[in-house]
Each structure stands twice: as C-alpha cells, then as structure tokens.
C-alpha cells in the first residue's frame, strides 16, 4: 500500500526566458528565432512542483527577489500544492533567471542554458537554520547546486544526522566535498558527470556495460554515497547500490518539444515513488514515464505531469512492474 510522502526541497527558483530557433547562432552571428516565451522554473522549484503534482506533500525552501518574476514563480508553485511559506524574499536582489536557447529541428530539440542566480545566491545559513531542528519530520530532502554550496552541505548534514533520506542532484555540475558525498543517500548525475567524478566511463556501444556501472557505483560508495542513479539518455537509467543494479529503458515519445525540465521531472518522480513505497526498480520506471511526458511539452513547470497522466502512460505502454492503480493512493 502506497502512502503520500512528506518531501522537503531546498533549491532554486528561476524564471526561464526561452528563445526557440531552428539553428543556434555561431559566435558573432545573429539568427531569426521562431518563438519567445517565459516559464517559471529553477531546478528546485521544478522538482518541488513535480513532486506535488505526483501527490507528495511538499515544502519548498528557497529565495526570490521582490519583483514580478518572484511572485509569479511562488504563486505557480503554490497553485501546484507546494508549501511556499518558507520561501524568503530578498528586497535588494532580483529573482533568478535562466536564459534558454532552444534549437528545434526535425530530429528533436536541444537546449543551451545560462543561469543568472540572483536571489538564489543570497540565501544564507541563517535563513535556513530552523531546519536543523525540524528536518526530521520529512521523509526525504532534495537538493541541487543552484544555491550556495555551504547551504547544501549544511542541510545535507542535518538531514543525515536525523536519519532522513538525502537526494543530491549535482546540477549544474560543481565540485563535491567528501563531507557532502558522505551524507548522500542518493546522488543522481548523468552518465558524463558520473564518469568524470568516478574517473571511469560507462561503455554503451552494445548496450549498457553493467560491469562499468558497477565500477562507477563502487567509486561513489567508497566516498560514502549509498546509492547512485545515472541517467543515460536513450539508454535509459540505472540505480546502483546495496540493493544491486536496476535498469529501466528510456520511454520514447513521438515528439520531443522541450527537454529543459526532463532531469528535474525524473529525479522528483523517483523520490516521490520511492518514499511513497515503490521499490527502487519500480520507482525508476515511474520516473522514466514521468519524464517522458515532460519532454513532450513546452516550458519547465508547465510541462510537469500529474500522477493521473503518468498512470495513463504506464497503462498505454503496458507496464507490468506494478499496478498503476496503486498510484491512486497519491491522489
């Protein structure tokens, strides 16, 4: 029997400014774009909204500026069911902005993202100090690297001390201390980030080489990480740890509209499924189906599906790892 989990997200808010074009410009070149739009996002806020739309109880900790973008982003998260009462406002700094260049061709869409963190980077340890005594009431805490690293390390340590599951989504890529890794129950790099950190690549010439996955996983375990999740694009994803190695295939959609929030959607769905009561392998499949819907839509937060939509796709694709009807407990 699944249950509604209680998830804490400590992370960023970013207003995404999205310019679509059929070809990205070269240095010094100007091209005519197809479309421009804005969409609320930020890795932390995306993950919080995705967890909430999948049925989790979610509290978001972060910071926005005292401006229109900040209000739009917090209002959007609140409308999705996220508790934003712990989101602070910096009256002297603008809200974070993500500039996204989306190159759309007949082969799909590729993005290039530049982040201007704004108020996200003025959040202080004092602002989050209340978590040291209250973090134990959550089932899991999710963090990314769009906040000051000292906050990520402190919150991870508090959660670890309290026996709370810690998910570190190491994006944008940044150096990680042994102190932080030792607090991570899960870490979720992509295949390239994992190879750099472990100093060993994963071969995929003839399908995923699981011996390589095991070596990479052991490299992380030696630094204190309990479980490693690796997203591998068209080769699917794996979770490796004390329960062995589980793999799920990439769930392909007829049309790829925007991959911007795919990673956030995936890790949020995995965390929701896991803390709701799904085993690792089934939580991985739940995450893959969730992210597949996300990439088929435009925008970050607007693209994130509800649990009902994920149930529909699981049934449509004939998934048998668990009964999609079990997800009714999250509604």
- What phi-psi label fits residue 318: left (phi over 0), alpha (psi between -120 and 50 degrees) or beta? left
**DSSP state letter for 62:** E
CA distances (Å), origin 71, targets 14, 78, 106, 225 = 11, 10, 36, 37
Cβ(48)–Cβ(27) below 8 Å:
no
- Gap between the Cα atoms of 149 and 48, Å rounded: 19
31 burial level (CB within 10 Å; 0-12, 13-18, 19+): middle
Identified catalytic residue from 264, 312, 323, 328: 264
Q: Whose CA is closest to 61, among 80, 72, 79, 47?
A: 47
Could you give the angle at the alpha carbon of 141 between the alpha carbons of 41 and 86, nearest 5°? 60
Buried b / exposed e across 86-114, counting CB within 10 Å, b at 16+? bbeebeebbbbbbebbbbbeeeebebeee
Secondary structure element (H or E) that encloses residue 65, with its range: strand 57-65
Tokens representing 170 are: 């190491």
Tokens representing 220 are: 């992380």
Q: Which residue has the tokens 């340590």?
A: 157
Four-residue CA torsion sign, 34, 39, 44, 47: negative
Is 264 a residue of the active site?
yes
Q: Which residues are known catalytic residues?
A: 264
């Amino acid at each position: 029997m699944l249950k509604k989990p209680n998830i804490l997200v400590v992370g960023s808010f970013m207003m995404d400014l999205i310019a679509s074009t059929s070809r990205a410009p070269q240095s010094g070149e100007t091209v005519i774009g197809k479309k421009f739009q804005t969409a609320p996002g930020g890795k932390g806020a995306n993950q919080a909204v995705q967890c909430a739309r999948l049925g989790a109880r979610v509290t978001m900790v972060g910071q926005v500026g005292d401006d229109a973008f900040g209000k739009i982003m917090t209002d959007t998260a609140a409308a999705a069911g996220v508790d934003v009462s712990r989101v602070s406002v910096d009256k002297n700094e603008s809200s974070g902005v993500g500039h996204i260049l989306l190159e759309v061709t007949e082969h799909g869409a590729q993005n290039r993202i530049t982040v201007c963190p704004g108020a996200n980077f003025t959040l202080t340890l004092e602002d989050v100090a209340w978590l040291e005594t209250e973090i134990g009431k959550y089932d899991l805490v999710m963090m990314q690297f769009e906040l000051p690293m000292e906050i990520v390390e402190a919150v991870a340590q508090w959660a670890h001390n309290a026996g709370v599951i810690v998910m570190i989504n190491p994006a944008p890529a940044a150096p990680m201390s042994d102190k932080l890794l030792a607090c991570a129950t899960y870490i979720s790099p992509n295949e390239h980030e994992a190879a750099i950190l472990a100093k060993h690549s994963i071969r995929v010439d003839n399908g995923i080489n699981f011996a390589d996955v095991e070596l990479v996983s052991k490299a992380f375990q030696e630094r204190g990480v309990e479980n490693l999740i690796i997203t591998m694009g068209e080769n699917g994803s794996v979770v490796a740890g004390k329960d062995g190695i589980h793999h799920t295939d990439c769930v392909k959609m007829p049309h790829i509209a925007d991959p911007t929030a795919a990673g956030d959607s995936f890790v949020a769905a995995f965390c929701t499924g896991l803390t709701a009561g799904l085993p690792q392998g089934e939580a991985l499949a739940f995450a893959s189906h969730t992210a597949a819907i996300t990439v088929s839509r435009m925008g970050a937060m607007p693209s994130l599906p509800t649990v009902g939509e994920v149930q529909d796709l699981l049934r449509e694709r004939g998934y048998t790892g668990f009964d999609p009807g079990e997800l009714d407990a999250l509604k």
